[in-house]
């Protein structure tokens, strides 16, 4: 059967890609476009989906089916999405966890705009005029919790 032969190399490639994605360094995760991020958000929420399911989950006005299909193929080339063949279709799934992408993206923001300084980045957001007292207090509470955890580790 040619179908079985055609799927075997693909499955091996998919397994290798999945393993390599778990060992990706933070800097290797490429920044996603707004459209790519929209598709990834749906995949992170659903876990896996066909292109038609991705399309259904998108807000109106929805892009064309071919547009979503193209975005998913680009995400696969970037190594952040994998798929399982199901008949003549593909069921897509994220290969990069949302937290890993978020961490990589925020590290990039911190590096590019704040000289790799978390304190400069926090200061930037704290100086926003629309930051409420409640949000500022929450930031302080998070910082205090982090300090206590660090002190506890050093003991």
Cα–Cα dist 1/8, whole Å = 12
Same-domain check for residues 86 and 50:
yes
Same-domain check for residues 39 and 94:
yes
Task: Say which DSSP state 64 is in.
Answer: P
The enclosing domain of 69 has a CATH number of 1.10.10.10
| pLDDT tens series, the chain, 155 aa | 333 333 334 443 443 344 334 434 444 678 899 999 999 999 999 999 999 999 999 999 999 999 999 999 999 999 999 999 999 999 999 999 999 999 999 999 999 999 999 999 988 988 887 888 999 899 999 999 999 999 987 66
Nearest CA among 91, 90, 93, 114 for reference residue 45 = 93
Cα–Cα dist 68/45, whole Å = 17
Same-domain check for residues 88 and 134:
no
Q: Is residue 105 part of a domain?
A: no
Q: Is residue 107 part of a domain?
A: no
Same-domain check for residues 92 and 139:
no
Same-domain check for residues 16 and 54:
yes
Q: Is residue 122 part of a domain?
A: yes
| Unique residue bearing structure tokens 């207090």 | 137
Domain tally, the chain? 2
The CA-to-CA distance between both ends of the chain, in Å, stands at 64
**Cβ atoms < 10 Å from Cβ of 21:** 19
Same-domain check for residues 91 and 48:
yes
Name the pTM for this structure. Answer: 0.72
pLDDT of residue 146: 92
pLDDT of residue 155: 60
Range of the structural domain that residue 128 is part of? 115-154
pLDDT of residue 154: 62
Same-domain check for residues 11 and 83:
yes
Same-domain check for residues 9 and 78:
yes
Same-domain check for residues 57 and 82:
yes
Same-domain check for residues 92 and 20:
yes
Q: Is residue 147 part of a domain?
A: yes
- For 50, half-sphere exposure in the C-beta direction (CA atoms, 13 angstrom radius) is 10
Same-domain check for residues 38 and 76:
yes
């Amino acid at each position: 059967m040619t179908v079985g032969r055609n799927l075997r190399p693909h499955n091996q490639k998919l397994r290798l890609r999945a393993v390599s994605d778990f060992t990706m360094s933070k800097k290797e995760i490429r920044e996603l476009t707004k459209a790519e991020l929209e598709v990834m958000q749906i995949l992170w929420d659903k876990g896996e989906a066909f292109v038609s399911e991705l399309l259904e989950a998108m807000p109106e006005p929805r892009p064309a089916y071919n547009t979503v299909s193209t975005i998913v193929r680009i995400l696969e080339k970037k190594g952040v999405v994998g798929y399982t063949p199901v008949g003549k279709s593909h069921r897509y799934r994220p290969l990069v966890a949302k937290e890993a992408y978020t961490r990589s993206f925020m590290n990039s923001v911190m590096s590019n705009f704040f000289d790799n300084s978390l304190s400069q980045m926090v200061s930037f957001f704290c100086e926003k005029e629309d930051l409420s007292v409640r949000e500022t207090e929450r930031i302080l509470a998070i910082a205090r919790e982090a300090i206590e955890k660090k002190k506890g580790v050093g003991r």
